[in-house]
A and B are shown apart, each in its own frame.
Chain A
Amino acid sequence: MPPTHTDEGLRAAAVIRERHPRTAVLLLSSYLEARYAEALLKDHPAGSGYLLKDRVYDAAVVGDALRRVSTGECVIDPEIISQLLRRGRDRNPLDALTERERQILSLMAQGYSNDSICNQLVISRRTVESHVSSVFAKLGIVESPESSRRVLAVLAYLQG
Chain B
Amino acid sequence: MKARGWAASLAFPALPALTAAAVLALAVPMVRLAASYPDAAPGGGASWQVALQAAAAACAVAAGAALAAHRTTALCGTLLMLAGPAVVIAAVPVAQARPALLFTIVLAGAALAPALLGSAALTCPVGPLRSWDRLAVVVSLVVAGLVCGLLPATLFDPQASGCFTCAANLAEVHAAADLRASLIRWGLVLTIGTGTGVAVLAMGRWLRAPRIVRLVNAPVAVGGAAVALLSAAAAGHGLAQPVPVIDAQSRAIWLAQCAIVVLMAGGVAATALRTRRLASQITAQVLAATPDAETLRHSLAESIDDPGLTLVFPRDDGTVIDAAGQPVGAAGQATGADGAGLAVATVRRASRTVAEVRYRAELAGAGQLLGIAVRSAGLALEHVAAQARLRAELADLAASRRRIIEDADAERRSLERDLHDGAQQRLIGLQLFMQLAADDAAEEQAETYGAARRIVSTALADLRDLAHGIHPAALTDDGLMIGLRTLANRSPAPLSVGGTGPVARSAVAEAAAYRLVAYTAHTAGRLAGGPVIRATVDGDEAVLRIRIEADGIGGEQAAQIMARASDRIAAASGSATVETTPAGMGTARTTITAEFPCASLLPRTWHCCGRAWPGCSPMLDSMSSAAPATRTNCSSW
Contact surface of A with B, Cβ cutoff 8 Å: 3-7, 30-35, 53-54, 56-59, 83-84, 86-90, 92, 159-160
Contacts and interface: CB of A to CB of B under 8 A. Distances in A.
Contacts of A159: 485, 488-489
Interface string B464-502: 100000000110010000100110111111111100000
Interface of B: 417, 420-421, 424-425, 428, 431-432, 434-436, 453, 457, 460-461, 464, 473-474, 477, 482, 485-486, 488-497, 525, 530, 532, 607, 610
Contacts of B532: 88, 90
B493 A88 contact: yes
A6 B461 CA distance: 20
Contact of A57 (B424, B435, B473, B495): B435
B68 to A, nearest CB: 76
B492 A84 contact: no
Nearest to B524: A88
Given A4-B610, A6-B477, A88 B494 contact: yes
B431 A57 contact: yes
Nearest to B424: A30
Contacts of A33: 473-474, 486, 489
B492 A56 contact: no
Contacts of B453: 57
A59 B610 CA distance: 33
A160 B461 CA distance: 24
Most chain B Cβ neighbours within 10 Å, of A33, A56, A159? A33
B364 to A, nearest CB: 62
Given A5-B610, A87-B492, A88-B495, A30 B431 contact: no
Most chain B Cβ neighbours within 10 Å, of A30, A84, A92? A30
Nearest to B439: A59
Nearest to A80: B489
B491 A88 contact: yes
Given A83-B489, A160-B488, A56 B432 contact: yes
A5 B428 contact: no
Contact of B464 (A6, A30, A90, A92): A30
A57 B460 CA distance: 13
A53 to B, nearest CB: 5
A5 B436 CA distance: 28
Given A30-B424, A87-B490, 16 more contacts: A5-B417, A5-B610, A6-B610, A30-B425, A31-B473, A35-B485, A35-B486, A54-B431, A54-B460, A57-B428, A57-B457, A58-B435, A88-B492, A88-B494, A90-B494, A160-B488
15 contacts: A6-B473, A30-B424, A31-B473, A33-B474, A33-B486, A35-B485, A57-B428, A83-B490, A87-B491, A87-B494, A88-B491, A88-B532, A159-B488, A159-B489, A160-B485
Contacts of B473: 6, 31, 33
Contacts of B492: 86-88
Contacts of B497: 160
A92 B421 CA distance: 36
A2 to B, nearest CB: 9
Most chain A Cβ neighbours within 10 Å, of B420, B425, B490, B497? B490
A70 B457 CA distance: 27
Contacts of B434: 57
Q: Which 10 residue pairs across A and B have the least CB separation, nearest first?
A: A88-B494, A57-B435, A90-B494, A57-B432, A57-B431, A88-B493, A90-B532, A4-B610, A89-B494, A53-B428
B534 to A, nearest CB: 9
A3 B434 CA distance: 29
Contacts of A89: 494
A6 B477 CA distance: 8
Nearest to B460: A54
A103 to B, nearest CB: 21
Nearest to A92: B494
A4 B489 CA distance: 25
Contacts of A32: 464
Contacts of A56: 428, 431-432
Given A54-B457, A56-B428, A34 B435 contact: no
Contacts of B477: 6-7
Contacts of A53: 425, 428
Contacts of B486: 33-35
A84 B489 contact: yes
B56 to A, nearest CB: 91
Most chain A Cβ neighbours within 10 Å, of B420, B428, B496? B428
A112 B100 CA distance: 133
Contacts of A84: 489
A5 B477 CA distance: 11
Given A57-B434, A90-B494, A30 B610 contact: no
Nearest to A4: B610
A34 B434 CA distance: 28
B500 to A, nearest CB: 17
Given A31-B473, A35-B482, A57-B431, A4 B607 contact: yes
B417 to A, nearest CB: 7
Contacts of A86: 492
A87 B428 contact: no
B530 A88 contact: yes
B320 to A, nearest CB: 43
Contact of A5 (B420, B485, B488): B420
Contacts of B417: 5
A84 B525 CA distance: 16
Contacts of A58: 435
A1 to B, nearest CB: 10
A57 B484 CA distance: 32
Contacts of A35: 474, 482, 485-486
Most chain A Cβ neighbours within 10 Å, of B435, B436, B494, B525? B494
A52 to B, nearest CB: 9
B535 to A, nearest CB: 12
B480 to A, nearest CB: 14
A5 B431 contact: no
A59 B435 CA distance: 9
B488 to A, nearest CB: 6
A84 to B, nearest CB: 6
